[in-house]
């Protein structure tokens, strides 16, 4: 079945925030679209792949800005920030949107999606364990990816999100999934 598109020059020129702001107005004017939009939203949230998440996260973490690290580390007005602390903060901030995806899937009662997102995050962190010198990850310390993964798995387990040990082992061969979290071997 061929789909037709309607010319929408004004909509096409709106900024993403402006486009998003129209959704409540459309729903108010056409409440019958609520179920359709809800189904589309769930489909969007559920369209995840652990390996894609891992690859995206790996690229993001390996490309963290040394300029940002330089701006945050060292002498600051009234205090000093060690480069390791600043690097850890940058890594943690980079993980926020991935963690939000995990908790969003959990809140929507999509356990398979939550597991997939969690596995992707863990695998992405595992891929970053041998960070090259001179990167933000290297400044954060060699155990940083494993520590973030272990913390997140522990927190997810507390929320009822369980990973398949075989899937973890296949993507993270030197990490072990335990009943209370994740450990490096």
Contacting residues for 77 by C-beta, under 8 A, at least 6 apart: none
Model pLDDT for residues 150-180, shown as the tens digit of each residue: 999 999 999 999 888 889 989 999 888 777 7
Model pLDDT for residues 8-58, shown as the tens digit of each residue: 888 889 898 988 888 898 889 999 988 988 888 888 989 999 999 999 999
CA distances from 9 to 6, 18, 34, 95, 131 (A): 9, 14, 25, 36, 46
Neighbours of 134 (CB within 10 A): 9
The answer on pLDDT for 59 being more than 60 is yes
Crossing angle (nearest 10°) for helices 111-126 and 144-158: 170
Residue 73's pLDDT is 93
Model pLDDT for residues 96-136, shown as the tens digit of each residue: 999 999 999 999 999 999 999 999 999 999 999 999 999 99
Residue 3's pLDDT is 60
Flag the least confident range among 2-11, 68-77, 138-147. 2-11
Instruction: Quote the mean pLDDT of the chain.
Output: 91
- Give the global pTM: 0.86
Contacting residues for 51 by C-beta, under 8 A, at least 6 apart: 120, 123
Confidence of residue 181 (pLDDT cuts 50, 70, 90): confident
Q: How far apart are CA 175 and CA 150, in angstroms?
A: 10
Confidence of residue 1 (pLDDT cuts 50, 70, 90): low
């Amino acid at each position: 079945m061929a789909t037709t598109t309607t010319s929408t020059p004004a909509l096409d020129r709106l900024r993403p925030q402006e486009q998003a702001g129209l959704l409540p107005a459309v729903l108010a004017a056409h409440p019958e679209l609520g179920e359709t939009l809800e189904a589309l939203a769930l489909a969007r949230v559920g369209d995840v792949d652990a390996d894609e998440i891992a690859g995206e996260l790996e690229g993001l973490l390996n490309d963290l800005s040394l300029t940002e690290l330089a701006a945050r580390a060292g002498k600051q007005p009234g205090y000093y920030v060690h480069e390791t602390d600043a690097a850890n903060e940058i890594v943690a901030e980079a993980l926020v949107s991935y963690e939000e995806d995990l908790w969003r899937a959990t809140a929507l009662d999509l356990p398979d999606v939550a597991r997939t997102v969690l596995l992707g995050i863990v695998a992405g962190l595992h891929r970053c364990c041998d960070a090259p010198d001179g990167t933000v990850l290297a400044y954060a310390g060699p155990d940083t990816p494993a520590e973030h993964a272990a913390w997140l798995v522990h927190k997810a387990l507390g929320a009822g999100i369980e990973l398949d040990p075989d899937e973890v082992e296949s993507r993270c061969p030197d990490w072990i999934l335990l009943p209370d979290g994740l450990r490096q071997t």
